[in-house]
Amino acid sequence: MPELPEVETVKAALDDAVKGKTIHHIITSGKNMRWPIPSDLEKRINGALITHVRRRAKYILMEMKTQKQDLCLILHLGMSGSVRIYPESITDIIPKKHDHLIIGCRDSHQSGHKHGHITAVLNDPRRFGGVALIPADAVDAHPLIKNLGPEPLGNQWNGDALHAAITTRQAPIKSVLLDQHVVAGIGNIYASEALYLAGITPRRKASRISKAKANDLTRSVRQVLEKAIAAGGTSLRDHVQPGGEIGYFAQQLHVYGREGKPCHYCAKPIKMIRQSGRASFYCSQCQR
Ligand SMILES: [Zn+2]
């Protein structure tokens, strides 16, 4: 499942590829994703100028201007979504199975030929992702967005903020870290990794985390996310390649998926437990 660093990587690649370009053709699969793709999508965004692409939690927000109004196309990758970017015209792309949205863009000032074309494709076999189009000024109030907690890489998020958000929570810290109201966009892999770096067992009650430990934890969360984003960035160099899928990259993980393997620090076997139905990996020696 794409987590925040993967979404950030896809966002950066999209921004790089389509910013300043104009949408000139849209193809949709006609299938429902988590909710239906708007049937009038092409009519509403054909001719729109893409001003930039940004991210909130795990949502990719493609901001655009039309003659009538400023719009935002929300893309969510769900469980199995991915994006492909081609330096080719949409008419040259052969759609693959599970392509649900294909956006053809070209340089705004160029009328002719294939020069300046970019085609972005959203593929999602399991269709837990989604596409929504809303007025740009309605993003913060949108039901998908409005209740999200702070961005873990944002300036407002620190140990004090985390401590205040979890001090009354009796659930284990691992489950609380996955709560999108507490902090936005942290998934199962990076929650396990951050707790390992902070030396906190995933079983610890959130309310029993001190301010100092909350501070360690926010730093660890940033560290694992930034490292993963940097790894994604290096894999991005050639992202505009025919058929080149972006957004997934090999990562060095300390605990996630390493049950029974030796801890990188103390060599004790990594343990796996289930919490709220999700797997948590940790070292019982290094994490207390
Ligand atoms: Zn250890």
**Same-domain pairing of 126 and 207:** no
pLDDT reported for residue 233: 57
**Same-domain pairing of 124 and 173:** no
Burial of 260 (0-12, 13-18, 19+ CB in 10 A): exposed
Give the Å distance between the CA of 267 and the centre of ligand 1. 6
- List the structure tokens of 255: 């605990």
End of a domain among 138, 167, 190? 138
Residue with tokens 């660093």: 5
Pairing state between β 59-65 and 118-123? unpaired
| HSE toward the beta carbon, residue 247, CA cutoff 13 A | 27
**Quick check: is 178 in a domain?**
yes
Give the Å distance between the CA of 274 and the centre of ligand 1. 19
Q: Considering its fold, how many domains does the chain have in total? A: 2
Give the Å distance between the CA of 215 and the centre of ligand 1. 21
**Quick check: is 144 in a domain?**
no
**Same-domain pairing of 133 and 228:** no
pLDDT reported for residue 241: 38
**Quick check: is 151 in a domain?**
no
**Same-domain pairing of 130 and 197:** no
pLDDT reported for residue 111: 53
**CA neighbor of 17 nearest in space, from 100, 120, 93, 94:** 120
**CA neighbor of 24 nearest in space, from 125, 103, 133, 131:** 103
Give the Å distance between the CA of 174 and the centre of ligand 1. 18
**Same-domain pairing of 84 and 200:** no
Q: What are the φ/ψ torsions at residue 138 (nearest 5 degrees)?
A: -105, 5
**Quick check: is 152 in a domain?**
no
**Same-domain pairing of 166 and 246:** yes
Question: Could you give the angle at which helices 211-235 and 159-166 cross, rounded to 10 degrees?
Answer: 120
**Quick check: is 206 in a domain?**
yes
Give the Å distance between the CA of 264 and the centre of ligand 1. 7
Asked whether 119 and 85 are in contact (CB, 8 A), the reply is: yes
Beta strands in 78-177 (DSSP E): 82-86, 99-107, 118-123, 130-135
* DSSP string across 22-45: EEEEEEE----SSSPPPTTHHHHH
**Same-domain pairing of 130 and 166:** no
**Quick check: is 253 in a domain?**
yes
**Same-domain pairing of 181 and 118:** no
Asked whether 206 and 179 are in contact (CB, 8 A), the reply is: no
| Residue 147 burial (CB count, 10 A) | 9
What CATH number is given to the structural domain containing 12?
A: 3.20.190.10
The rounded distance, in Å, linking the Cα atoms of 161 and 260 is: 35
Mean pLDDT of all residues belonging to the chain: 90
**Same-domain pairing of 73 and 122:** yes
The amino acid that residue 104 corresponds to is G
Provide the domain limits for residue 81: 4-138
pLDDT reported for residue 163: 97
3-state secondary structure of 177: helix
**Same-domain pairing of 40 and 128:** yes
**Quick check: is 288 in a domain?**
no
**Same-domain pairing of 19 and 115:** yes
Its pTM stands at: 0.88
**Same-domain pairing of 8 and 134:** yes
**Quick check: is 102 in a domain?**
yes
End of a domain among 106, 138, 170? 138
Give the Å distance between the CA of 159 and the centre of ligand 1. 24
Helices (H), the chain: 4-18, 41-45, 159-166, 173-177, 188-198, 211-235
The rounded distance, in Å, linking the Cα atoms of 123 and 145 is: 22
Give the Å distance between the CA of 265 and the centre of ligand 1. 5
- The per-residue pLDDT for range 202-260, each reduced to its tens digit, is 999 999 999 999 999 999 999 999 988 887 755 444 344 334 455 444 567 899 999 99
Active site residues: 2-3, 58, 278
Residue 11: pLDDT over 50: yes
What CATH number is given to the structural domain containing 222?
A: 1.10.8.50
- The per-residue pLDDT for range 172-205, each reduced to its tens digit, is 999 999 999 999 989 898 999 999 999 999 999 9
End of a domain among 78, 105, 138? 138
